[in-house]
Amino acid sequence: MISRTLGKSGLEVSAIGLGCMGLTFGYGPALPEKEAIALIQHAIELGVTFFDTAEAYTQGANEALLGKALKGYRQNVVVATKFGFKDGIATNGLDSSPKRIIQVVENSLKHLQTDVIDLLYQHRVDPQVPIEDVAGTVEQLITAGKVKHFGLSEAGVDTIRKAHAVQPLTAAQSEYSLWWRTPEKALLPVLEELGIGFVPFSPLGKGFLTGTIDANTSFDATDFRNVVPRFSADNREANTPLINAITDIAVEKKVSNAQVALAWLLAKKSWIVPIPGTTKIERLKENVAAASIIFTNEELQNIDAALSKINVQGDRYPAQLQQLTGR
């Protein structure tokens, strides 16, 4: 596995990380702990050194799982986690008050069984708390040696600039993929200007870009894709041309759809590090292998030309969650 540096921070991580959310949260029943630990440790064996979790992924249980899995490996990996929701529950609303940030960090350190958090994100921007206060609190935690790097998730460019002026940001996190390219318009230029790394989550379109989901796919009752407009049966059907285009590229390149999606992201910028999630070791291996796939400039131009003819249907979040992005 090759390494990348997130912006100008000096934080070196594997070119592809592992998003751990789906191991306990969001995509149906949690993976049995033994299997989840085995998957995380297998990722390390494959060269993955960057692991992403959050307080809000099952109120610390996801962090605790990662902490168990990283025993004996902690010094060789980079752990990112997040604060920002009341009581660690996304549906309870936002809370990035300094007191809450400090408490979440203490909780996260215990869950992760570590003495420092490598990268701490604000999960969503809290309009009730000035971002300068948030950045200042994280700066204090960095000075105290409890946090190494600061990041923002789903933040707008003005907020990023304000936070960066107080405590330099190492990374910004947002959705970015072959079916959600909005970050290219304003976000990526600002990150490049400021020297901030970019960590795309849902780089496989919450599974849709793999080509294994169609209009007839049924999700578990607890799977949050059930409320995502882009995953309505009609929109899945309407977005089939996108999958067909990716499949054509994958066949020509002799790789999988998922590998096309990940290798395309890696080709965009040298400071982009996607964090696909999975519960299956065979998919983990497939994702990691994407780091060695290189697209020529001509191939990238052909991909862009093919995608430019497709209008993706459906919002990526229900309205109440969409309001929390881009602030």
Q: Furthest-apart CA pair in the chain: how many Å?
A: 54
Please check whether residue 51 is in contact with residue 20, taking contact to mean a CB–CB distance below 8 angstroms: yes
CB-count burial class (<10 Å; 0-12, 13-18, 19+) for 14: buried
List 57, 73, 121, 317, catalytic entry: 57
Closest CA to 82 of 173, 16, 163: 173
20-54 CB burial, b ≥16 within 10 A, e <16: bbbbbbbbeebbeeeebbebbebbbebebbbbbbb
Please check whether residue 16 is in contact with residue 48, taking contact to mean a CB–CB distance below 8 angstroms: yes
CA-based torsion, 245, 248, 250, 256: positive or negative: positive
Q: Distance of CA 162 to CAs 13, 82, 156, 159, 324, Å?
A: 26, 19, 10, 5, 18
Which stretches does DSSP call E strand in 112-220? 117-122, 147-153, 171-175, 197-201
27 as an active site residue: the answer is no
Which stretches does DSSP call E strand in 123-170? 147-153
What is the C-alpha separation between 253 and 299, in angstroms, rounded?
9
Give catalytic residues, as residue numbers: 57
